[in-house]
Structure 1
Amino acid sequence: MIYDLSREERRHRAIANEKPAPVLKAQLCACGKAAPAKQLAQHGKCVACLFAARVATLQDDDLDVLHHMLGATSHHPQSRWGFRNQYLANRRDLAALDRLVAAGFVRAGAALLDLRYFHATQDGCKLAGLNYAAMTRTQGARP
């Protein structure tokens, strides 16, 4: 014998078996900023704290290399910042670039003999202080 539920019975059973919607109310991070509960459950920190923790792993000269990579130096007008996104590293700068790659602000590019090109990521552009227009210009400036 085939037992067939009517449409109404199926609807009532579906309603009875429904789970409540996930709760997305904001909670406070340790820094005092509001963050989604899912973010805090997964990472334990808000996005700003995670970014600050990545920046804390860098040294002072690392930011100079990043600024030079993006053309965001004092002898260029700020309106032109981001006209390039490449840096051909020599041995002297490899330690700084390794720290930048580990923090996720730079990615390694093509190799040229014993040297290697490096390119800034979106987070690296934000760290260097580029505005949105310069960031889009930079991300399109890859060779």
Structure 2
Amino acid sequence: MESTSRENLIAKARAKYVGDEPNYVKFKYKGFVCEIKRHEYLLTLCGYASFRAKYPINNEQYRNALENIDVHGGVTYFEISPSEKVTIGFDCAHYNDLSPTLQILEGKNNYKEYRTVDFVKREIQKMVDQIIKINDQLSAD
């Protein structure tokens, strides 16, 4: 696909589904650094929360609990920095999620719902609340 036609496709998808939504949002929630990032081609959103690990990340119970957080589509991103900073994320490019560019490209409505910035922000907050609960539960053990 030529770059001009690719750019036109993305512009058309942005106009129809994304509107004025930002491509990037950073905020803090309960002390966690949270980010929303838009995929540059699909125009779908991903949500992330970063924090310092409360327990050694090699603690199997802790790591399994973090990797299995209940969030839209499940945890699809898990990174640990050398300084034990953990970033957990998810994306909105799953079955029934509308990917704006693919929707325009395919010309048919196979997908149910475009996941908005507000939706992703609520999911990030839900994810952070679960991380806090995991930390509290392990503290009690």
Measured against the shorter chain, the TM-score band is: under 0.3
Q: Does 1 or 2 have the higher relative contact order (CA < 8 Å, sep 6+)?
A: 2
| TM-score (structure 1 length as normaliser) | 0.25
- Give 1 or 2 for the bigger CA radius of gyration: 1
Which structure: greater strand fraction?
A: 2
Which structure: greater helix fraction?
A: 1
| TM-score (structure 2 length as normaliser) | 0.26
